[in-house]
Amino acid sequence: MSTYIHGTHPEEQERLSLLNTLINDRCISLLDITTGERIIDFGSGLGQFTMRMGILTGPGGYCLGIEQDSAQLAKARKNLADSGLTQVDYRQGNVEDISLGDEEGSFDLAHARFILEHVNHPEKVVQAMRQAVKPGGKVLLLDDDHDTMRLFPEPAGFKRLWTAYMQSYEALGNDPVVGRKLVSLLHHAGLSRIQNGVVFFGDCAGMKTFQVYANNLLGILEGSRDLMLNKNLIAQNEYTAGIKGIEEWSTLPDAALWYSINWASGERI
Ligand SMILES: C[S@@+](CC[C@H](N)C(=O)[O-])C[C@H]1O[C@@H](n2cnc3c(N)ncnc32)[C@H](O)[C@@H]1O
């Protein structure tokens, strides 16, 4: 099983949950869900976006989230119980090695956001997504190309720290730039009518959500600190200097974060 770099401790769950509130409106606008559809969400995490999609299918639809981690599933199931939605369900499973049995080929949409970057074999996941949808069904991937992160004015020590962070993905056998490969992954899995685009994931000083973006950045870096240090990807003093640089940058009146989430979709014909 692949290792999830961010972990699932309560502070990390809080970060992921806040991240969902920042981007879910932008991501849902990529979808054209009609009532009664069947959707499968690969790597559903805390399930906030799974539920958003489930609401659009209506009570006559079905939205199934697949998640490997028990702590994420527990939180997702609690959120689901609180919501009262009956058309959403979660199942424990590894998206790199999944068997859908009779449900194979029965879904209208297979969706995966921020999951291909956390697995050793993204091609296996995309192949399973293709198998999950019926002819005419759609596969939608959203994922990171970490190499596109830009902060300005660039904080002292940031480049060094961000490079080590990307290397920590590689240390786990995962791909920090998988976002640029989404079209290729769909093509090689046999999907047709492929499209692509980006969802803006940036902000600047003065905007009311700016500090949430800055804290998200600090949160992912702090969460990977032990891995970076233990694998000798960065020295402690360089790590500390990079974090201090971001903290100082986040107080500047002209601080800006430029980043986007890559997406690509394809159809099974
Ligand atoms: C960054 S979160 C994204 C969650 C959700 N898709 C979202 O956008 O909010 C990635 C999730 O994938 C899960 N995950 C990682 N590898 C997995 C695998 N091989 N099978 C199933 N889930 C996996 C992690 O436990 C984590 O909850």
Cα end-to-end span (Å), the chain: 31
pLDDT-based confidence at 240, cuts 50/70/90? Answer: very high
Rounded distance from Cα 252 to ligand 1 centre (Å): 33
- Over residues 22-42, mean pLDDT: 96
Cβ of 68 closer than 6 Å to ligand 1, yes or no, is yes
- Over residues 237-245, mean pLDDT: 98
Cβ of 129 closer than 6 Å to ligand 1, yes or no, is no
Helix (H, G, I), strand (E, B) or coil at 8: coil
Q: Is the pLDDT of residue 1 over 80?
A: no
Q: Is the pLDDT of residue 267 over 80?
A: yes
The pLDDT assigned to 11 comes to 87
The pLDDT assigned to 6 comes to 83
Under 8 Å between Cβ of 239 and 225: yes
Rounded distance from Cα 207 to ligand 1 centre (Å): 29
- Over residues 52-72, mean pLDDT: 97
Under 8 Å between Cβ of 197 and 29: no
- Pick the atom of ligand 1 nearest to 142's CA: 8
The pLDDT assigned to 7 comes to 84
Torsion, Cα of 62, 192, 131, 65 (10° steps): -40
Residue type, 3: T
Under 8 Å between Cβ of 62 and 87: yes
Q: pLDDT digits over 90-149, tens only? A: 999 999 999 999 999 999 999 999 999 999 999 999 999 999 999 999 999 999 999 999
Collect contacts of 52-61 with beta carbons under 8 A, ≥24 apart: 52/24, 52/28, 53/28, 53/109, 53/111, 54/85, 54/87, 54/88, 55/85, 56/28, 56/31, 57/33, 57/87, 58/87, 59/86, 59/87, 60/35, 60/36, 60/87, 61/33, 61/35, 61/36, 61/37, 61/87
Cβ of 96 closer than 6 Å to ligand 1, yes or no, is yes
Cβ of 94 closer than 6 Å to ligand 1, yes or no, is yes
The pLDDT assigned to 8 comes to 87
Rounded distance from Cα 44 to ligand 1 centre (Å): 6
Q: pLDDT digits over 153-196, tens only? A: 999 999 999 999 999 999 999 999 999 999 999 999 999 999 99
- Over residues 47-53, mean pLDDT: 97
Torsion, Cα of 264, 139, 21, 241 (10° steps): -50
Architecture per CATH, domain 10-267, reads as 3-Layer(aba) Sandwich (3.40)
Rounded distance from Cα 66 to ligand 1 centre (Å): 8
Q: Whose CA is nearest to atom 2 of ligand 1?
A: 45
CA distances from 116 to 54, 83, 95, 128, 193 (A): 22, 28, 10, 12, 21
Q: Is the backbone peptide bond immediately before 122 cis, with ω within 30 degrees of 0? A: no
Please identify which residue in the block is written with the tokens 């009532």: 35
- Pick the atom of ligand 1 nearest to 20's CA: 9
Average pLDDT of the chain to the nearest whole number: 96
The span from the CA of 48 to the CA of 45, in Å, is: 8
Rounded distance from Cα 116 to ligand 1 centre (Å): 9
Cβ of 20 closer than 6 Å to ligand 1, yes or no, is yes
CA distances from 137 to 18, 30, 180 (A): 30, 15, 23
Cβ of 67 closer than 6 Å to ligand 1, yes or no, is yes
Q: Is the pLDDT of residue 253 over 90?
A: yes
Query: Structural domain boundaries of the chain?
Result: 10-267
The pTM assigned to this predicted structure is: 0.96
Q: Is the pLDDT of residue 26 over 80?
A: yes
Rounded distance from Cα 118 to ligand 1 centre (Å): 7
Rounded distance from Cα 37 to ligand 1 centre (Å): 23
Cβ of 72 closer than 6 Å to ligand 1, yes or no, is yes
CA distances from 224 to 5, 86, 211 (A): 7, 36, 20
Tokens of 90: 């979660």
- Over residues 75-79, mean pLDDT: 96
Q: Is the pLDDT of residue 2 over 80?
A: no
